[in-house]
Amino acid sequence: MTYKNSIGFVYNSTLPDAIQLANTLMDSARRYYTCWISPVETLNANSEHIESASIIVTIGGDGTILRVARIASPNNIAILGINMGRIGFMTELSVPEAQDRLLSYLDGSPRIEKRMMLQATFKKQQEAQSTTMHALNDVVINRASTSKLLDINTQINDTHVATYRADGIIISTGTGSTSYALAAGGPVIYPESNTILVQPLAAHISFSKSLIISGSDVINLRVQDKLQSTISVDITSNILDVDSIVYISRSPHSTLFLRHGDNSAFYGNLASKLSGNKSEI
């Protein structure tokens, strides 16, 4: 990977001590690199720092990474996650490890882990134009204000697969399989796999099995019977326009992570992560 000019330190300002840690890490790095700092809540794609950034160090948890990924991924900026949350499936270092090992990740020697993302195109309620968003974890269609179950017509590559009668449906990457999809009873999928998980939410009296499909497949979802529903693309939610079709496919963007060690480390960490507490969002 060819690095650009600067290293960003992006922290979750709602976490105690996050800004202090971010400043401490930045002080150790600025002797060798051009550095900048930002709370994740105000980071945006138009920031003057983004164009020149090669790496963004996140201080928070998986939720902080999801916020950063939507800006970093289109710009091919690698992420190094420091865990100040709980589980931190996507993070790489604990706080003590970061203080000791940060510079070894910034010198260009770590492995670059590439994870696929999803692209979702849909119409928001009462808007004429479609919206396209990208997700590292998942795209979720859920019930809105109605207490009725949703009938979700599901097509893969224009072929009808099922009409899920359910609370909702999760379309997840391998990365997202350890998030909401796991809580819904889905399988754990290796995060660098180029596959997509289709996971219904509490399906009733209908086909209710999870499906693992190719990353090259295209999924069309439509909520029938004119019921109002919401769509969540990672951590951003919107009300869906009634009867609109949601098109989900592999995103042209990928999220890059800095890792030391080989790609089998995921399996070594899996049991200890799952025995922990809830992750920070």
Q: What is the CATH number of domain 118-252?
A: 2.60.200.30
Read off the pTM.
0.91
Residue 160 belongs to what H/E stretch? Answer: strand 159-166
Structure tokens at 197: 């998980």
Structural tokens at position 62: 């998986």
| Cβ atoms of 253 and 69 closer than 8 Å | no
Cα–Cα–Cα angle for 131, 135, 141, rounded to 5 degrees: 70
Instruction: Give the integer Cα–Cα distance in Å for 112 and 59.
Output: 19
CATH architecture of 6-110+260-274: 3-Layer(aba) Sandwich (3.40)
Write out the catalytic residue numbers: 62
Where do the structural domains in the chain lie, given as residue ranges?
A: 6-110+260-274, 118-252
Pairing mode, strands 245-259 and 219-223: antiparallel
Q: Of 25, 83, 27, whose CA–CA distance to 59 is shortest?
A: 83
Q: State how far the Cα of 99 lies from the Cα of 120, in Å rounded to an integer.
A: 38
**Could you list the pLDDT tens digit for every one of the 281 residues in the chain?**
444 689 999 999 999 899 999 999 999 999 999 999 999 999 998 888 898 999 999 999 999 999 999 999 999 999 999 999 777 889 999 999 999 999 999 987 889 999 999 999 998 877 788 999 999 999 999 998 767 899 999 999 999 999 999 999 999 999 999 999 999 999 999 999 999 999 999 888 667 789 999 999 999 999 998 888 999 999 999 999 888 899 999 999 999 999 987 777 787 777 777 765 444 44
- H or E element, residue 249: strand 245-259
Segment holding 11, helix H or strand E: strand 6-11
